[in-house]
Amino acid sequence: MQQTSSPEDMPIIPQAPGGVRMVAPLLSAGIGLALIAVLAGQRWVDSFAAYFIAITLSALPYMLMGALLSGLMEVFLPPTALAAVTRKAGPWGVVVTALAVPLFPICECGIVAVVRRLVRKGLPLSHALTYLLAAPIINPIVFASTYVAFQDFAHPLLRTLGGFMVAVGIGYLFSRIKPENALIPGFLTDSNGCGCAKDNCEEPENPESRLQAVARHTRMDFLEMIPYFLMGVFIASVMKTFFGDNLMALAERYPIFGPAFMMALAFVLSLCSEADAFPAASFTSFSLVAHTGYLVLGPMLDIKLLIMYRSMFRGGFIVLLAGAIVAGVTAYLALLEVFL
């Protein structure tokens, strides 16, 4: 990040960290090619456009909600509060974080903006990872929608338990990694994310100005996340257009590979965790374990999220994290196979 000396020097437009300068041209070129295909009368573009716009529209409210929550935290949460609380919890902090998740439910589209802010506000990386992975699963709305989709308690309970176990496991696994090795350069020095590169903006004290500050941070967070989000949606839509049906057909033909196929399907489809249970429920030939693989992995790792993680994590760390998530979910499914 560029270093500046005063809040007056902050840029008016948000500067997304990391590779956004690469994301935007790639995205523009990709959509440009799609538009050319429209003009050439290619029918697959209809499906691509429908998926792309549908995922974007369904996620937009949650993106804004996440950005608003992040803006509120920036202005109203004291800078030392999170660090003090986590110090108090000691080694149990990761577990406490996972248990506290239902009090602050947020779905996967808004979670990255919130976690970015929490890390900048001093939440340790291990706790932040736990919250990042658990919040889109250990969530009352997600529990209810999973119950409605499958009409039983086994699926939502196993989903919640899996989300808890994998998130806590990964929190502890990465507890020794130094933040500077995981986060993109400049992420922590630009601690409030406004681009002024100071530990704390001199935010005004009067309520009217505070509201303005919330609006400013919300706007910046929202605009900063959008290119990553769009890139993720773009890739997910391409995958779904060209491989989604084949993957579904394959999955139904070879139910013995159910868990692996269902996890791959969750990764490709990139659906919101509040609605992803419904398509999964239509795969009636699969076992409870295979369904659980889909339900636990999807909200933690899908194409859209993978790109959005790039707004805060280094590429190498994302690879490690993705590997750990897949390993964690696989281990959980193996446990279920043994005990169910």
Partner 1 sequence: MSNFHAPLRLAAWLILLLVMILGGFQRYYLTGWNQPMLAVTCAGLALLFTAGLLEKPRGTRAVGGLGVWFETLAHYLPLVLFLVAGPTLPAMNRLSNFDYTGRKTSEIAPRMDGGPLSVSLLDLHAQHERIDGRLIEVIGTGHLLSESERKNLPASAAGRDIRAILYRYVITCCAADATTVSAVLNDMDPKTIQEDQWYRVRGRSRYVAEGLNVPFISVESLEPVPQPLSPYLTGSEEIFR
**Residues making contact with partner 1 (CB under 8 A):** 2, 4, 7-16, 20-21, 23-25, 27-28, 31, 34-35, 38, 45-46, 48-58, 60-61, 64, 68, 148-149, 212, 215-216, 218-219, 222-223, 226-227, 230, 237, 240, 269-272, 274-276, 278-279, 282
In total, the chain counts a number of residues equal to 340
Cα–Cα distance, 337 to 195 (Å, whole number): 49
Compute the half-sphere exposure of residue 187: CA atoms within 13 Å on the CB side of its CA: 26
Nearer to partner 1, 211 or 334 (CB): 211
Considering the complex, state which of residue 226 and residue 312 has its C-beta at the smaller distance from partner 1: 226
Nearer to partner 1, 132 or 226 (CB): 226
186 DSSP assignment: T
Provide, rounded to whole angstroms, the least separation between the CB of residue 56 and partner 1: 5
Rounded to 5 degrees, what angle do the CA atoms 216, 218, 222 make?
120
Cα(62)–Cα(214) distance, rounded to whole angstroms? 17
Instruction: Give min distance, CB of 309 to partner 1, in A.
Output: 18
- Name which of 47 and 175 has its Cβ closer to partner 1: 47
CB of 337 to partner 1, least distance (A): 27
Closer residue to partner 1, CB minimum distance, 67 or 301: 67
Query: Least separation, in Å, of the C-beta of 146 and partner 1?
Result: 12
Rounded CA-CA distance 184/222 in Å is 19
Question: 3-class SS at 52?
Answer: helix
C-beta of 4 vs 330, nearer to partner 1: 4
Of 25 and 323, which CB lies nearer to partner 1 in the complex structure? 25
| Minimum gap (Å) between residue 261 Cβ and partner 1 | 16
Largest CA distance in the chain: 63
Give min distance, CB of 21 to partner 1, in A.
4
Minimum distance of partner 1 from residue 251's CB (angstroms): 13
What tokens were used for 339?
């005990």
Give the type of residue at 303.
I
CA 232 to CA 56: how far, in whole Å? Answer: 10
Instruction: Provide the 3-class DSSP secondary structure of residue 313.
Output: strand
Tokens coding 80: 């030392």
Q: For residues 332 and 271, give the distance between their C-alpha atoms in angstroms, rounded to a whole number.
A: 22
